[in-house]
Chain A
Amino acid sequence: MWNELLFAFQSVATLANVLAMGAGILGGVVIGAIPGMTGTMAVTLALPFTFYMSPVTSILLLVALYKGSTYGGSISAILVKTPGTASAACTVLDGWPLAQQGKAGKALNMALVSSCIGDFLSNISLIFLAAPLALLALRVGPPEYFMLMAFALTMVASISGGSLLLGVVSACFGLLLATVGEDMYGSFRFAMTEDMKSGLSVAPVLIGLFALPELLRLIFFRDDGQGQAMKLGDNRLTLSEFRGSLKSIIRGSFIGVVLGAIPGIGPSSAAFFSYGEARRASPNRENFGKGELEGIAASESANNGCCGATMIPLLALGVPGDVITGVMLGAFMIQGLTPGPLLFQNNLNEVYMLFIGMMFSSVLLFGAGKITVRFFSHIARIPQVLLAPIVLMLCIYGIYSISSSMFDVTVLLIMGAVGFIMLLLDIPPAPFLIAFILGPMFEDNLRRALAISRGDPSIFFHSVISWIFAGLIVFFVGLTIRREWQKSRENRAARNA
């Protein structure tokens, strides 16, 4: 194992990989810091460029963008009271009051340190948990795999915002689109043109659904009232301040790892949960919301703590935990790598390289954050509307450059229009994406399992693992229905009052 790790270290330490990680971290920090530009958009826009890179370089670039943007979201949260990404919403609570007190630099430094520690611990958990989980997954068959896919789809549909019904409609739409093209036994379905025979490509669907709607939002719902960025002021984070927040950082990282590893939950919930726990346990709880460094430490360690953890189900089981890892699953597939237990069997070197690269990118994140801190107030002031034409060009050229296919560009436009309507209506796109990507595997395992049992559906309940997943599905669906019922009862009561 040590030889493999040494070989992986040598392979990662190439100029191309270091440049890709550095560019990813810097790009991610800048994009994350601009309100309205999300980490998902950063990763999605970079997808076409990865076609021309080696598999490991391309994944490292995307991972670095993810980490950079998750941290970058805290910059505008602290300096202009507008979180750059949803996961930094919690950082506003204490970051903005600190900036008003002239301690923006201190807040940014605390956000950076906690993000890096959370990220680092998350990477370690990935390294220790992904391989054993993958080994376990190697022993399960198509019925268990089908139940796992069903569980992942249920989780994502029920937790990713909006109503359960809309989440399921979104997932069904994704599953339906995934059936276009050739199926596992060579039958063509809904292939009305030659281009459709190979199915819809992942890249135009992803970029259309996530980047184009954001572009239209930037044009039509632009936030001209973006506040003036605060000056950095008091910049130093003292050792005693760091020590005072260390418990919250460790707790937050742990919460991020646990919640990040569960498909569908994501960094925003982890940040708020960690913040709540830190406030409950802190002796300075009265100061939370008025400019408490511990509050920033709790939320930032948790949201960055999710970065590595969301890769656990992706790498070990082939199940993306959120939208960004869904995009990364697409990138893996584009590179000819299939995440899941077989990745650890067939591409162990690449897996080790990825692990080492991820650890290295945590260090890069710290370095990049320290060096660029003085430019942060300028980044947070970049007008959103200036970015719209750039995003549009990157979307269209990026897709066209992959295979010079006008069909893909058309798919991009159609998915962009659909995605924009979904955005307007608050219909979560995550279930669609996960269903679209997992659809072929979902169908493959369903049909294989039924072929083994000669059509007997009881095969899905023959093993303990299947029962566990079935129980989890019932539990989460029940929980969501209960939540919806409570919500509608509250709405009714409010109307009657």
Chain B
Amino acid sequence: MKRVALILTAIFVLSFSGFSQDVNSLFQKANNFYLNKNYSKALAIYKQIEKQLNENNENSFKLYYNLGCTYYRLNDIANARYYFEKAKRIKPFDKDLNKSLNLLLTKVKDKEKKVKEGFFLHIYKKIYLSFRLNTLTVIAIFFFLAVFLILGMLISNRYDKKKLYYGLGISLFLFLLSFSLFYSRYKFTFQKEGIVFANEVEVFSEPNTSSTVLFKLHKAAKVKIEDELNGYVHISLPDGLNGWIDRQYIKEI
């Protein structure tokens, strides 16, 4: 059992790639530029870091948040929103982020309709969103392995069966619970959403410009991406409005 834990931790530690000194110093530099109100220079460095992270398939809440702030200062609300939303997927309940994002939303022309959710759904959402995705992944895997370890012990026929059955029941329950939390969090993090980058876009009923214009969206509006076809994306809004937009006006988060 101890050995198993050791191996598990070793694998997780290995999978976190260490901070490269390079990224750290770059980040520091960009923050200083921001502090001295040299936003365009700060932006350039932040972008450079982002590129590096993308190559390594990494992400950073701080970086996305700072990028959002920088774009906000440069009055680019579409990009600001894009990065704030990206940061929100990592830490949905960060106070600074939500404050800045709410302020930004006052500048967006399209007001977002909030869909009311039930009490229990709300609680469930609060729980899974307050964990990081990686935390939930580790917890779910831990209980998943625990289930199989106990199964193995049961098969081996060497240990007290009564205790093992209890253990199996409990770890199975905890696995299902943590997996459902993990899955919800996973869906939240990798949901397909996009930000409108054009000043005004028409939303069509079919994936071509000759069909009916259903409604118009403005800069920095957030849409849910449902489907993609022939350079058009099928988008929907929280209140159920949906239609097709030219791919080029939308940037996927």
A complexed with B: no
Q: A residues within 8 Å of B by Cβ?
A: none
